[in-house]
Amino acid sequence: MNIRAVAVDEATRLQAIIDDCLHLEGPMLPILHRVQEEFGYVPESAKQVIALALNVSRAEVHGVVSFYPDFRDHPAGRHVLKLCRAEACQSMGCEPLAETIKEKLGVDWHQTAADGSVTLEPVFCLGLCAQAPALMLDGEVHARVDEHCLGDILAEVRR
């Protein structure tokens, strides 16, 4: 498949998502969620197409993507590691865990390890406050995370 065919395919998939969601009340968030599911992120080129479809500015779409931590405007690594930074997890030591993760992976928040293995993202409550600190790896939650099980998780993402 050549580059133009890939671009046409992406445009078709994007338009199908927009067509599916346009009838919804407040369609921007559903469209953005579906785009991220489909492509793994919200490509810059998609923002303009979404803006035109919703009759808003590209800056408005960009603002929504930037505001919500769930959206990303660059491709993620093979794994996505989300560490909870909300109050309960903070009180149970999520910040030292964050420092360990950053140091071991050589990343900061919203960055992907150089080998493309994992993207680190903050999240603000996973609903596991009573079992803090918590994280989510590729959609699977892990509770009462300590340095020991964090080591296993980091080994898993680097495989």
Q: Which is nearer to ligand FES, 90 or 111 (CB)?
A: 90
Q: CA-to-CA distance for 76 and 41, rounded, in angstroms?
A: 7
User: Which residue lies nearer to ligand FES by CB, 84 or 113?
Assistant: 84
- Smallest distance, Å, CB 89 to ligand FES? 3
Between 49 and 101, name the residue whose CB sits nearer to ligand FES.
Answer: 101
Instruction: Report the residue number, 56 or 136, with the smaller CB distance to ligand FES.
Output: 136
Give the relative orientation of helices 28-39 and 3-21 as an angle to the nearest 10 degrees.
150
* 54's tokens: 């919703």
Encode burial over 113-144: b for 16+ CB neighbours within 10 A, e otherwise.
Answer: beeebbbbbebeebebbebbbbbbbeeeebee
CB of 82 to ligand FES, least distance (A): 10
**In the complex, what is the shortest distance from the CB of residue 145 to ligand FES, in angstroms, rounded to a whole number?**
10
Of 54 and 125, CB closest to ligand FES? 125
Q: Distance between CA atoms of 150 and 96, rounded to whole angstroms? A: 11
Phi and psi at residue 121, to the nearest 5°: -135, 145
| CA 142-148-150 angle, 5° bins | 45
Binding region for ligand FES (CB under 6 A): 84, 86-89, 125-129, 132, 134
The minimum distance between CB 97 and ligand FES, in angstroms, equals 11
Q: From the CB of 141, what's the least distance to ligand FES, in Å?
A: 9
